[in-house]
Amino acid sequence: MTALLTTALPATAEAPPVSFQRYYEEAGPDYAAWSPGFNMHFGFFRHGLNPLARESMLEEMNLQVLDRLRLDPQSRASRIPTRVPARVLDMGCGLGATLRSFARRLPSAELHGITLVPWQLEQGRLLNQACPAADRIALTLGDYEHTPHPSGSFDAVYALESSCYACGPAKSAFLREAHRLLRPGGRIVIADGFLASRKLHGPQKNIYRTLCECWVIDTFAAVAPFRRELERLGFHDIVLERIQSRVTPSVLHIPWVTLKFLLTSVAFGPRKMTRARWNNVLAPILLPFVSYPLGPVAYFIVSATRT
Ligand SMILES: C[S@@+](CC[C@H](N)C(=O)[O-])C[C@H]1O[C@@H](n2cnc3c(N)ncnc32)[C@H](O)[C@@H]1O
């Protein structure tokens, strides 16, 4: 595997790493190969779903996040009677697929999303136009560690495969901002890959480094420091659910999606294959080599309540 890495990425050692902005500008449109609705995350399998139907598992992940936010769709508001309608923030919203899913289920909620990528903002706004609830979804360009929103202005915040981009293993600045934005009693949900232990053995260290470089991640959050940071900030009701087995059925789609992408977009596609685009092909291939059961990376949904 180490040999594969050194031959697959000859430029990595010499050329500067691909920047975050460049990665998402060049590789962003390729996410359509994974999800026509631009759900830029893995899926959640539950009994009754067809494991071959990827998009329905991706949508189920949205629903699992929504469920843990404990917003009440029946009353069309948050469970705090004084706050009508509920205000929800997607911290790292991509093209807003999860917000559009929530809009269908929360008929009066005010839905906000923030992303660092201008292309995502433009495309997300275009996709929102086709959504009946477009007027309730507001997308903003900015950094989720320093948002323009007032303190205590949200009933719920969530990050679906976006907290991994925040700095450090405890993701302190990201969690601090989430805590600032939530009203007392507000909920946070994070769904992402985590380092369940710090043990990366032998060639796995190289694979992990290359994976992070491909996806322009500093490091995945480490479970123990992340939990301690939540506690230190004053969150309670902290629940960490390891859901690797739920996510695996969608991970198993990677070989087929990659092969189809190579045979269509790479071989006959109009856009040049840049290093950023190749990185996005390589990263999902590397992921299983450092993920449970071979490695320490595991998928978790973490939820908590602001005190
Ligand atoms: C893998 S995508 C996931 C997008 C979306 N949550 C979804 O599931 O479709 C990661 C997202 O995190 C966003 N992101 C990463 N760092 C960010 C930051 N500091 N501030 C705002 N957004 C950020 C990226 O712009 C991108 O939209």
Residue 288 CB less than 6 A away from ligand 1? no
Render pLDDT for 51-82 as a digit per residue (tens, 0 to 9): 999 999 999 999 999 999 999 765 444 455 54
| Whether pLDDT at 266 is above 60 | yes
Residue 162 CB less than 6 A away from ligand 1? yes
In this structure, the residue with its CA closest to atom 19 of ligand 1 is 143
pLDDT at 16: 83
Question: How many angstroms separate the CA atoms of 58 and 35, rounded?
Answer: 8
Q: Which CATH number is associated with domain 2-13+20-306?
A: 3.40.50.150
For a mutational test of ligand 1's pocket, the pick from 116, 190, 192, i.e. the residue with the most ligand atoms closer than 8 A to its C-beta, is 116
In this structure, the residue with its CA closest to atom 14 of ligand 1 is 92
Residue 78 CB less than 6 A away from ligand 1? no
Out of 88-102, 161-175, 182-196, 257-271, least confident range: 257-271
79 or 124, greater pLDDT? 124
pLDDT at 123: 97
Residue 89 CB less than 6 A away from ligand 1? no
Render pLDDT for 173-209 as a digit per residue (tens, 0 to 9): 999 999 999 999 999 999 999 999 868 888 999 999 9
Q: What percent of the chain has pLDDT over 90?
A: 85
Residue 190 CB less than 6 A away from ligand 1? no
- Cβ contacts of 250 within 8 Å, gap of 6 or more: 42, 43, 44, 45, 54, 57, 58
Residue 97 CB less than 6 A away from ligand 1? yes
pLDDT at 240: 98
pLDDT at 73: 66
Kindly list the domain boundaries of the chain, sorted by start residue. Answer: 2-13+20-306
193: left (phi over 0), alpha (psi -120 to 50) or beta: beta
End-to-end CA distance of the chain: 46
To the nearest whole number, what is the mean pLDDT of the chain? 91
